[in-house]
Amino acid sequence: MSIFFAVHSFSHVRSFLSGRHFLYLLLPLVLGYPLFARGELQIEVKTQVQTELPTELPTEVPTEAGSGASKAIETPSSTNIVAADSARLLTLQRQYYKEVNKDLQRGSTVSFARHHDSLKSYPLYPYLQYSLISRQLKLSNRQAVDYFFSNFNAVPVARTLRKRWLQLLYSRQRWQLFLSYYEPTTAATAQQCQYQYARYKSGQREAALLDALPLWNVGKSQPSACDPLFKLLIDKDKITEAIAWQRYTQALLNHKFQLARYLERFLVDKTYRDKAAFFLAVDRKPARVGDYTLLGEDSADNRAIIEHGIRHLAKQSATAALKHWARYRQSHHFDEAAQRRVLPQLVKGLHKQGYDTVALAYLNDNMALANSKLLEWQLRTLLRAEKWLVLKEWISALPEPIRREQRWRYWQARAQLMTSSDADVIDRAKTTFRELSRFRSIYGFLSSDRVGNPYRMAENPLLTKASAVDTLANSAAMLRVRELFVQGKNLSARREWYQTSKNFTPEQWLVAAQVAHRQQWHPQAVIAMSQASYWDDIDIRFPRPYRPAFEKHANTLDLPLTLLFAISRQESAFAADVTSPAGARGLMQLMPATAKQVARRHNIRYKSRQQLFEPEKNISLGSRYFKDMMLRFDDNRILSIAAYNAGPHRVASWRKKTAGKLPHDVWVEIIPYSETRQYVQNVLAYALIFAHHLELNQPLLSPAEKQQLL
């Protein structure tokens, strides 16, 4: 359907817009209605950009005066004219959008009426319609709301509009309308409760109450919007003791004690009340899990409280927990998932309470239930104790698929070197290192250093599929993403990206990665490659944005440029405007308090935390903070990188515990925080990848860093 009014000449445009027809255009906008209903005939109006162009281009002009001859002149191709016209139109549309959006936020619709026709083909037109409708949402806006849902339902703000519209309908008790607009795929818990309440009020009473029970029967408190629905359940006696008991056990297992106490009022029968008191006692005193008489029945409730009690008891007395668990496994049918949840608690409890041999033997006996996290935890326990011989034997006993992973092969070779002087054993270890050195990973790079091999990048760039990339780039959603980034609406742009890509296949993710790379949406490109599990196009995965700023501060502070790039890639994937859940901001993810301290210490102008979203300011403060860490830890990059992530005081405490006895690779592997451990390994590896991009001959670690015991 055409999105402009069609006229045959510019004089028609002028006469059309000068008379009452223009009022026909303006009034629906001011009132909050769409310009036309669906299916209504539309007339095309040329935009200002088009009016600035000549209506015709002469194809011939006279040659010299009096010659009477004519000569064809060279004219731009029609394709170039259209492209230039489109570019000029887009520039104007961006300006108009900024003006209109600002006015709509202030409550004025005048500029929207003036520029409406020019903006209707602009990708962000739906956002203007949303602002227009939502500024004073009321029941009389129903036609405008319907228009929006019919035409722009794929735009993320449609979900916001639907939520607000449903809330309005609910508050006005328009139950049938509420039901007609409700969308289950996007409804949060509060809206689900309101939907069932609306069904009840619309006459679907029994069905609504039946479907409301799963919303009530959860192990946590629900939103207050659910209170009217839950009151109906209680008033209509739908909360039986059996149902209340189910929720009570869930609440207790989730440590929601206030909710559990509230639910006790529904437990009238002495059997239920006694069970509730006993279950609470097991949570408070896990040794009560040894009361086999009360927990003898092989029921789902008993299995849940037994598992809960064993996991808690393992932290206090792992040997007692192990004894009780062995008995219950004989008398009760615990599924594999439950056994997998209990195993780590028992193994870790035994180790921490000094029963290392028992823990290792129990893990070996239950290897089929162990997940990778538990196995890695066991590895770090043996490394921390420097039990190289036990480690070598233990790795040899791992299942073949696990044993072939890079991590385990590396540490098996390290253990071989630490426990044997036999030439054949040493040769086997070096062979393993040579094989691992082919990989672009921290273990590949460490192995390369062990045998003196060059670092391998194993690049395999994506094959560009131009047609597929162009098709996706020019889709309505991706055009909105592009324009939202241009307009500085980065959060909305990321929401659009998520909305359109959430159901992508791996192949589509690869196309999306190339679209993002072309547009320099670096975080989106990195995410897309990860979603596709394609790791070998390191040009897309490791871009070099803001290079002048990084180079300036690297040179000023005598820091490796590659390391600043690597930290930013790990911290934010080069998203300049992101905030972490903890509150860290910007490219190098600085906490506002840290930024303030660094600015004060080094006399850097810093006014507010908003400045951390400015790349130059963030790089300035972040690089200075990292330099502080390097000075504090004697230019040791391992310790400095760890301190940048976890804080210098934690790193100092970890060093105190290891007492300068451990090799650098062991110290990194046993970092207590999994996030920091992965962080250090990633940053070190990323720095080498950036060195490759920058054609720098840079080692993973300096000779001094390799020799220093930590």
* Residue range 523-570, pLDDT digits in tens: 999 999 999 999 999 999 999 999 999 999 999 999 999 999 999 999
Q: Please say whether the beta carbons of 554 and 561 come within 8 A.
A: yes
Stated length of the chain: 710
Positive or negative: CA dihedral 136, 141, 142, 144? negative
Q: What is the pLDDT of residue 11?
A: 35
Q: Please say whether the beta carbons of 637 and 684 come within 8 A.
A: yes
Q: What is the C-alpha to C-alpha distance for residues 23 and 41, in angstroms, rounded to an integer? A: 18
Q: Is the pLDDT of residue 678 over 50?
A: yes
Q: What is the pLDDT of residues 11-69, one digit of tens each?
A: 333 333 333 333 233 333 333 333 333 332 232 233 333 323 222 223 333 333 333 33
Within a 13 Å sphere around the CA of 38, how many CA atoms are in the beta-carbon half?
10
Within a 13 Å sphere around the CA of 202, how many CA atoms are in the beta-carbon half?
18
Q: What is the C-alpha to C-alpha distance for residues 710 and 707, in angstroms, rounded to an integer? A: 9
Question: 331-335 contacts: CB < 8 A, separation 24 or more?
Answer: 331/296, 331/298, 332/298, 332/302, 332/303, 332/306, 333/298, 333/303, 334/303, 334/307
Share of the chain above pLDDT 90, in %: 82
Q: What is the pLDDT of residues 326-380, one digit of tens each?
A: 999 999 999 999 999 999 999 999 999 999 999 999 999 999 999 988 998 999 9
Averaged over 234-252, what is the pLDDT?
Answer: 95
| 3-class DSSP string for 373-410 | HHHHHHHHHHHHCCCHHHHHHHHHCCCHHHHCCHHHHH
Q: Is the pLDDT of residue 175 over 90?
A: yes
Phi, psi of 72 (to 5 degrees): -70, 135
**Among the listed residues 138, 160, 137, the one whose alpha carbon sits nearest the alpha carbon of residue 149:** 160
SS3 60: strand
Q: What is the pLDDT of residue 400?
A: 87
Q: What is the C-alpha to C-alpha distance for residues 145 and 683, in angstroms, rounded to an integer? A: 49
If you search the block for the tokens 């028609």, which residue do you land on? Answer: 12
Of 38-47, 125-134, 270-279, which gets the smallest average pLDDT? Answer: 38-47
Q: Given phi > 0 = left and psi -120 to 50 = alpha, else beta, which region is 532? A: alpha
If you search the block for the tokens 């036990």, which residue do you land on? Answer: 390
Averaged over 68-73, what is the pLDDT?
Answer: 39
State the amino acid at position 111 in one-letter form. Answer: S
- ∠ at Cα 112 (107, 117), nearest 5°? 165
Q: Per the structure block, which two tokens stand in for 188?
A: 């949060």
Q: Per the structure block, which two tokens stand in for 363?
A: 């893990």
If you search the block for the tokens 């092989």, which residue do you land on? Answer: 298
Of 58-67, 421-430, 502-511, 692-701, which gets the smallest average pLDDT? Answer: 58-67
Q: What is the pLDDT of residue 63?
A: 32
If you search the block for the tokens 């437990």, which residue do you land on? Answer: 267
> Residue 72 belongs to what H/E stretch?
strand 70-72
Q: What is the pLDDT of residues 186-240, one digit of tens each?
A: 999 999 999 999 999 999 999 999 999 999 999 999 999 999 999 999 999 999 9
Q: What is the pLDDT of residue 76?
A: 53
- ∠ at Cα 516 (514, 518), nearest 5°? 65
* Beta bridge partner(s), residue 138: none
Q: What is the C-alpha to C-alpha distance for residues 540 and 522, in angstroms, rounded to an integer? A: 8
**Among the listed residues 254, 244, 246, 242, the one whose alpha carbon sits nearest the alpha carbon of residue 283:** 254
Q: What is the pLDDT of residue 64?
A: 34
Q: Is the pLDDT of residue 296 over 80?
A: yes
Q: What is the C-alpha to C-alpha distance for residues 161 and 145, in angstroms, rounded to an integer? A: 8
Compute the mean pLDDT over every residue in the chain, rounded to the nearest whole number: 88
| 3-class DSSP string for 616-680 | HHHHHHHHHHHHHHHHHCCCCHHHHHHHHHHCHHHHHHHHHHHCCCCCHHHHHHCCCCHHHHHHH
Contacting residues for 433 by C-beta, under 8 A, at least 6 apart: 410, 413, 447, 448, 450, 451
Q: What is the pLDDT of residues 556-614, one digit of tens each?
A: 999 999 999 999 999 999 999 999 999 999 999 999 999 999 999 999 999 999 999 99
Q: Is the pLDDT of residue 112 over 70?
A: yes
Q: What is the pLDDT of residue 397?
A: 85
